[in-house]
Structure 1
Amino acid sequence: MKVSTYASHSALQILKGAKEEGFETVAFGKARVKPLYTKYFPVADYFIEGSYPEEELLSLDAVVIPTGSFVAHLGVELVEKMRVPYYGNKEVLRWESDRTLERRWLERAKLRLPRVYEDPDDIDGPVIVKPHGAKGGKGYFLAKSPEDFWEKAKRLGIRDKDSLGGIQIQEYVLGVPVYPHYFYSKLNHELELMSIDRRYESNVDAIGRIPAEEQLDLGLSTNYTVIGNIPIVLRESLLMDVIEAGERVVEAAEELMGGLWGPFCLEGVFTEELEFVVFEISARIVAGTNPFVHGSPYSWLRYDYPVSTGRRIAMELRQAEDEERLDEILT
């Protein structure tokens, strides 16, 4: 068995982790990035050009590790039909990519969620508008009133209420952005807190460096496209809040879609009242784990050697292979 993934997002970490566990590795994607994975950072034993070279992957006896880029690039429908063994539960994809289903899932987990506005004309305070799917923050914008919403929505091609189906309008909750990364082992029935990050976003973080008066003069509009990630070590008294939230998400997934296993991330904020408000779930490895290729303070507390989220995936695959239980974690 070889470990493969799409050459983007968190592929470097996934492939390095797989090699650390003794697997041969396969990257596939655009020809331009081949040197990144074979020369500059030699983590791929094989590189195949193509967005999803199914026959080549099957011939190599490869397992695909999904990332946000892979799912966004191929689309949920193609991923659901792929014949190459896939690490994780494909049923989760539709629940993650549709914000209505996603909210139902998080409500079942009894998390504190922002209010959602069905009608833009009901907006009575700051909101953040998000397109469906994993797009790395692309297309997000803030609005403060119905008039402000309709003016800014034009950039997404939204001009009337009949074209609102591809977005969700959420209450904008003031707080510190926090993105805890989890790993749930289906083999061991255990949840692990792997690491925590916050995102560095363009151009909203750049605008924050400009005095407010000048921001108004320049007429700047915010954008939330993710450029990179910054590690966070959370206040210790808040750790049980994020761990219990993760446990409830796993329990709800078992009830709704047959389970969630492997890496996932809850995206939210801690308010000044120290309440963890969750606005989204990424039900796969997130790029926020990339600062922790050598492990995090949390993985060091659990293991006596460096364990990234990418390596933790490979550890699960190795255990399943050794115990002849691959059918339990591959779909």
Structure 2
Amino acid sequence: MRVTTYASHSALQILKGAKQEGFETVAFGTGRVKPLYTKYFPVADHFIEGTYPEEELLELETVVIPTGSFVAHLGIELVERMRVPYYGNKEVLKWESDRSLERKWLEKAKLRLPRVYDDPDEIDGPVIVKPHGARGGRGYFLAKSPADFWEKAGRLGIRDKEDLSEVQIQEYVVGVPVYPHYFYSKLNDELELMSIDRRYESNADAIGRIPAEEQLGLELNTNYTVIGNIPVVLRESLLMDVIEAGEMVVKTAEELMGGLWGPFCLEGVFTEELEFVVFEISARIVAGTNPFVHGSPYSWLRYDFPVSTGRRIAMELRQALGEDRLGEVLT
């Protein structure tokens, strides 16, 4: 068995972790990035050019690890019908990619969520508008009133209320962004807190370098495209808040879609009242785990050797192989 993934997002970490656990590795994607995975960071034993070279991957007896780029580039429909064994539960994809289903999931898990506005004309405070799907923050925008919403929505091609199915309008909760990364082991029935990050976003973070009076003069439109990730070590008294949130999400997933296993991330903020408000879930490995290729403070507290999220996936696959339980974690 070999481990494969799409050559983008968190592939370096996934393939490195697989090699640390003794697996042969395969990357696939555009030819331009091949040297990244075979020369500059030699983590891929094989590189196949192509968006999804299914026959070659089947011949090499691979198991595919999904990432945000994998789902975004291939599309949910292709992923659902692919024949290459897939680590995780494919049923989760439609719940994650549709913000209405995602909210149903998080509400049932009894997490504190931002208010959602069904009608833009009811906006009575700051909101953040998000297109559906994994887009790395692209297309998000802030609005403070119905008029402000309709003016900015035109940039996304939203002209009237019939187009609103393409976005979700969320209350903008003021707080510190926090993105805890989890791993749920289906084999051991255990949740692990792997690491925590916050995102560095353009141009939302860059605007802060411009004096306020100049910002007003430039009339800048805020954008939230993710450029990179910054490690965060959370105040210790808040750790149970994020762990309990993760536990509730896993328990609810079992009831709604047959389970969530492997890596996932809750995206939210801590308010000044120290309340964890969750606005999104990424039900797969996230790029925020990339600063922790050599492990994080949290993985070091659990393990006596470096464990990235990529390696933790490979450890689960190694255990499943050894216990003849691969069928429990692959779909």
Matches within 5 A, 1:61-72: 61-72=61-72
TM score, norm. by length of structure 2: 1.00
Aligned to 1:168: 168
Render the CA deviation track for 1:125-181: whole Å, top value 9, x for unaligned.
000000000000000000000000000001100000011111000000000000000
Shift of 1:210: 1.0
Distance 2:35 2:238 in 1: 42
1:147-186 residue pairs with structure 2 within 5 A? 147-186=147-186
Match of 1:132 in 2: 132
Is 1:11 equivalent to 2:11 in the alignment? yes
SS in 2 for 1:222: coil
User: How far has the Cα of 1:208 moved from its partner?
Assistant: 1.1
Which residue of structure 1 aligns with residue 248 of structure 2?
248
User: Aligned ranges for residues 69-218 of structure 1 at < 5 Å?
Assistant: 69-218=69-218
SS of the residue corresponding to residue 205 of structure 1 reads coil
User: Is 1:55 matched up with 2:55?
Assistant: yes
Where do 1:239-318 residues align within 5 Å? 239-318=239-318
Distance 2:213 2:164 in 1: 33
Match of 1:201, SS?
Answer: strand
Mapped to 1, the partners of 2:68 and 2:132 lie a distance apart of 13
Q: Output the CA distance in 2 between the equivalents of 1:102 and 1:168.
A: 11
Q: Output the CA distance in 2 between the equivalents of 1:280 and 1:232.
A: 18
1:213 Cα shift?
1.1
Distance across 1 between alignment mates of 2:111 and 2:86: 29
> Aligned partners of 2:249 and 2:294: how far apart in 1?
27
Structure 1: state its 5+ residue gaps.
none
Q: Which runs of 4+ in 1 moved over 6 A?
A: none
The SS at the match of 1:268 is strand
Corresponding residue of 1:327:
327
* Cα shift at 1:211: 1.4
Q: Give, in whole Å, the separation in 1 of the partners of 2:224 and 2:148.
A: 17
State the Cα RMSD in Å: 0.3
Distance 1:237 1:211 in 2: 35
CA distance in 2, matches of 1:29, 1:154: 33
CA displacement at 1:212 relative to structure 2? 1.3
Per-residue deviation, 1:91: 0.1
State the shift of 1:305 in Å. Answer: 0.1
SS across alignment from 1:164: helix
* CA positional deviation for 1:209: 1.1
Identity of aligned residues (%): 87
Q: Give the AA of the match of 1:208.
A: G
Count of residues in Structure 1 that have an aligned counterpart in Structure 2: 331
Counterpart AA for 2:309: T
Equivalent residue letter for 2:233: V
